[in-house]
Homo-oligomer: A and B are copies of this chain.
Amino acid sequence: MKRINLLVISLLFCATTFAQQAIWGVISIKSPDIHSDNNVTFRLKAPKANTVQITGDFLPTQKIATPYGKFDAPGIENLTMNKDSIWEFTTAAPLASELYSYSFIVDGVRVLDPSNVYMNRDVTNVTNIFIIGGTPGDLYNVNNVPHGTVSRTWYNSPTLGMKRRLTVYTPAGYEDSQKQRYPVLYLLHGMGGDEEAWIALGRASQVLDNLIAQGKIKPMIVVMPNGNAAQEAAPGESSLGLQQPTTQLPKTMEGSFEKAFPDIVKYTDSHYRTIAQKSSRAICGLSMGGFHSKFISAEYPDLFDYVGLFSAAIMPNGNTTCEIYQNQDAKLKIQFAKKPKLYWIGIGNADFLYKANTDYRKYLTDHSYPFTYFETGEGHIWKNWRIYLAQFTQKLFKQ
C-alpha cells in the first residue's frame, strides 16, 4: 500500500494544495457535528481571532431596524475556545428536523465553515447547510430509494428570442421505459432565483425521489425554468461569464416571462414523454414564481389543471401596462369556469405577503372560485416552500 499512500499524499499536495493540514497531523475538525440527540456542535480553528460567532436559521430570529422598517434577521451566538484551542458552539437544545443554513463571523467577517463542503447559494449569498433527520428532514436527504435524473438542458424560446437553460427532473424509471408517458409539473422560482434554485435550496429532486418512493405522489416530470426573462441562464451559466448575481434584474414581473411560457410547454411536450393535456399539467411557484403561476394559468386557461401559489407575490393589477396583467377579473372568470382541478394557496402567517394573500383569498371566495388553502407558521422562507412542494405534489394528477 506504500505506493497508494505516496499517491494520496502527492495528489493532496499537487492537486489540492490547500488540503495539506488534513494529512500532517493537525487536528481534523468535525463541523457541524450532529449529535445523536440532535444537538449540534460547530467548530472553527482560528487561533488568532478575537471573536468568532455563528449565525444561521437554526437560531431564533431577531428583529433588526432598518430605514425600511423592522425585519427578521437570524440570531447570532458567540463561539468559545475549547481546550484544543478550537472555537466551538453547541446548540442549547436539540434542533428540530430541518435543512438549516449557517455561517461563521470571524472578527466581523462572514466566513463559510472550512470543515463543511456543503453549501447553497441563495441569490448573491452562499451559506453552509446541514440536515437534521426525521420529519421533514428525511424528505430532503438522499435516501436509499430509486433516483430520478436531473438534466440541465437548453430550450428554444422564439418569443424571447434566445435559447434558455432549463432544469428537468425525470422520475426513476423514465429512461428504462420507451413508452410510459408522464404528467408534468412546472416549478417556478422567486425573485433573484433561477433554474438552480429549486434543485439546490428546494431539494426538489430529493423531495420527489422520496415521495415517489413512498407512493405518496405520482411519478412526474418536473420542469424548472429560469423566470427572469432577460436571462439565458443562471449566473455563471451563460455567456455573461462569472458575474456576480443580483436581484436587480430587468424583465421580471413585467409580463415577458408569462407571455413566453407556452414556449416551455411546447419544448417539454416535444422533447419528453409527457401526457400533453391540461389534466396532466401543473404549475406552481414561490413568491415571484407564485405571481407568475397566477398570471400564466389565467392567461392560458387551457394549459394547467393544477395551480399552486406558494407565498405568492400577489399584486392583482400587476406592475406594468403589459396586457398579461390586464382584465384579471375576466380572465379569472374564464379560468374558473373551466373548473381547474386544484387551485392551491400556501403561505406562512408571518409572511410579509400574508395580507395580500388573505385579500386574494377573499376575492376568490367572493367570486365562489374554489381553492385549497394551506397555512403554516413563519414567513417567506425556503423551509416553508419545501413543505408546500411536498404538500402540493401529493395532490397532483390523482383524479
Report which A residues bind B (CB closer than 8 A). Answer: 1, 3-4, 6-20, 22, 24, 30, 44-50, 55, 57, 64, 66-68, 71-74, 103, 106-112, 114-119, 121-127, 129-131, 141-144, 146-147, 149-154, 163, 165, 172, 175-176, 190-192, 233, 235-239, 241-242, 244-245, 247-248, 253, 271, 287-288, 313, 315, 319, 351-352, 379-382
Is A109's CB under 8 angstroms from B46's CB?
A: yes
Give 23 A-B contacts (CB < 8 Å), ordered by A residue: A7-B287, A15-B192, A15-B380, A16-B123, A17-B72, A18-B110, A18-B125, A19-B122, A19-B125, A24-B67, A46-B107, A111-B111, A111-B112, A112-B112, A112-B126, A117-B124, A117-B245, A118-B236, A119-B126, A131-B242, A141-B239, A143-B239, A149-B154
Give the CA-CA distance A6 to B73 in the complex, in Å.
17
| Residues on the B chain within 8 Å of A107, using CB | 46, 48-49, 106-107
Q: How far in angstroms is the closest Cβ of chain B from A219?
A: 15
Is B50's CB under 8 angstroms from A7's CB?
A: no
Is A241's CB under 8 angstroms from B131's CB?
A: yes
| Residues on the B chain within 8 Å of A15, using CB | 122-123, 190, 192, 287, 380-382
Give the CA-CA distance A175 to B163 in the complex, in Å.
14
Give the CA-CA distance A30 to B242 in the complex, in Å.
12
Give the CA-CA distance A239 to B149 in the complex, in Å.
16
Is B45's CB under 8 angstroms from A109's CB?
A: yes
Is B111's CB under 8 angstroms from A106's CB?
A: yes
Is A73's CB under 8 angstroms from B131's CB?
A: no
Greatest chain B CB density within 10 A among A4, A111, A144, A165 is at A4
Copies in the complex: 2
Give the CA-CA distance A288 to B27 in the complex, in Å.
28
Is A71's CB under 8 angstroms from B14's CB?
A: yes
Give the CA-CA distance A315 to B3 in the complex, in Å.
8
Q: How far in angstroms is the closest Cβ of chain B from A257?
A: 14
Is B114's CB under 8 angstroms from A110's CB?
A: yes
| Residues on the B chain within 8 Å of A49, using CB | 107, 109
Contacts known (A125-B19, A146-B163); A287 close to B119, Cβ less than 8 A = no
Contacts known (A142-B236, A380-B14); A175 close to B191, Cβ less than 8 A = no
Give the CA-CA distance A13 to B248 in the complex, in Å.
15
Contacts known (A11-B191, A24-B66, A124-B117); A141 close to B46, Cβ less than 8 A = no
Closest 4 pairs between A and B when the two form their complex, measured CB to CB: A14-B380, A13-B71, A48-B107, A149-B153
Identify the closest chain B residue to A286 (Cβ): B15
Give the CA-CA distance A352 to B3 in the complex, in Å.
12
Give the CA-CA distance A123 to B118 in the complex, in Å.
12
| Residues on the B chain within 8 Å of A74, using CB | 17-18
| Residues on the B chain within 8 Å of A190, using CB | 11, 15
Contacts known (A149-B154, A382-B15); A271 close to B175, Cβ less than 8 A = yes
| Residues on the B chain within 8 Å of A176, using CB | 271
Give the CA-CA distance A72 to B10 in the complex, in Å.
10
Is A3's CB under 8 angstroms from B319's CB?
A: yes
